[in-house]
Amino acid sequence: MKFEMSEHSSKSKQSPERKNDMSSHGLKIIDFHAHFPTSRWVKWVSSWKERLAQKYGMEKAQLLIEQSMQDKEKMRKLWGFAPPESEIHSDEEQAARWVKDLNLKGVERVNFVTGGGNETLSQIVRLHPKKFSGFAHHNIFSEDAPFELERAVKKLGLKGYKVIASSQVKSIDDKSAYLVWEMAEKLEVPVIIHFGVLGGGGGPSFNLKNMNPLTLWEVTKMFPKIPFVIPHFGAGYLRELLLLCWSSPNVYIDTSGSNRWIHWMPFKMDMKDLFKKTLETVGPDRLIFGSDSSYFPRGFSAPYLMKQLEACQALELEKEIMERIFYGNAAKLLKLEK
């Protein structure tokens, strides 16, 4: 179906009081991209610090982390989010809080792309299978990576695979990862790959080539049946991502996060511009809503959803188009029952 914008505005007339009432958005919502705040989060942060220390030394690694935290704190205040809580909750408690928060904010389901390892995340998903789904997120360059992906999908019930390209030492198109792509193709699951800037202040990258989505060019050709999803509109690499999408119809875009990288572009851009350009080029069937939510007390990042809905309303999109972006496309990739 050719994408066309409506001649009439679909923007509903709401009072200021109703504007932030999440039950009034009138759409079914799937958050395709969130991170479960597992009790193992502290261990993950420690592991990340160790990786930085191996490359830059402990003193510089500590400075890089402090700079990142300062930038994240600045962003948190900009959006008016409460500080992340310091209290440790069990995974069962966090899962119950997520369900309550999703119901409060009018969100049908959340897909966690990370969550303390495949085994842990699968246990969390099983607690609330009608509200949660999850992705495998193990090391793509480990010797057992393809077999672990098969186990994660077939035995643990996870529905896809998440990779952070920016944090890999090897190039994401390295032939040593081809067995993983072959397994993903065999299992018929989507793969979400983070390119571009990473973390507060852009964050460090372990392989600059992996910042660029075009690094995936050959992989998308070799494995055209795999739906590759690139989050955050490419996180600073919008042009490169759109070129990749032009070349490869199996590449999708997810809208997750604050997308504050747009302020560092050499040209003026806002959320409306992002949606307009991606809809004009990629179309509505390859655009998927995500929030990049994680910690409490913020929970589901409702302001991110509202910002994106406002952009779509400003573009006067038909409701049917918005339903695909905010629900249908994710439901199709996750193979949810209708």
What tokens does 38 get? Answer: 């597992």
Q: Is residue 261 part of a domain?
A: yes
pLDDT for res 227: 98
Residue 334 to residues 183, 227, 239, 312, 322: CA-CA distances in angstroms?
A: 17, 11, 27, 23, 18
pLDDT number for residue 310: 97
Band (39; pLDDT cuts 50, 70, 90)? confident
Phi, psi (deg, nearest 5) at residue 305? -60, -45
Residue 50 belongs to some domain of the structure: no
Q: How many domains does the chain have?
A: 1
* Whether pLDDT at 204 is above 80: no
Average pLDDT estimate for 196-215: 84
Report the pLDDT averaged over residues 15-43.
72
Q: Is residue 126 part of a domain?
A: yes
291 alpha-carbon distance from chain centroid? 7
Dihedral (Cα; 45, 87, 294, 70), 10-degree rounding: -60
Q: What is the per-residue pLDDT for 62?
A: 86
pLDDT of residue 63: 87
Question: Residue 110: which of 313, 120, 100 has the closest Cα?
Answer: 100
Domain-located, residue 60: no
Q: Which domain holds residue 207?
A: 24-39+90-333
**Mean pLDDT along residues 65-89:** 88
pLDDT score of 44? 62
Average pLDDT of 248-257?
98
Q: Residue 106 has what pLDDT?
A: 96
Residue 23 has what pLDDT? 55
CB 305 within 8 A of CB 264: no
**Is residue 2 scored above 70 in pLDDT?**
no
- pLDDT band at residue 41, thresholds of 50, 70 and 90? low
Q: How confident is the model at residue 45 (pLDDT cuts 50, 70, 90)?
A: low
Domain presence at residue 215: yes
Residue 109 has pLDDT above 70, yes or no: yes
Mean pLDDT of the 264-271 span: 94
Closest by alpha carbon to 282, among 235, 248, 322?
Answer: 248
Collapse the DSSP code of 316 into the 3-class scheme (helix H, G, I; strand E, B; otherwise coil) and give the result: coil
Mean pLDDT over each residue of the chain, to the nearest integer: 90
Give a yes or no: residue 159 inside a domain: yes
Which pLDDT band holds residue 208 (cuts at 50, 70, 90)? confident
Stretch 100-121: mean pLDDT: 97
In a domain, 12, yes or no: no
Whether residue 4 is predicted with pLDDT greater than 60 in this model: the reply is no
Q: Is 254 in a helix, a strand, or coil?
A: strand
CATH number of the domain that 35 lies in? 3.20.20.140
Residue 299 confidence (pLDDT) above 80: yes
Does a structural domain hold residue 96?
Answer: yes
- Lowest-confidence region among 70-84, 105-119, 154-168: 70-84
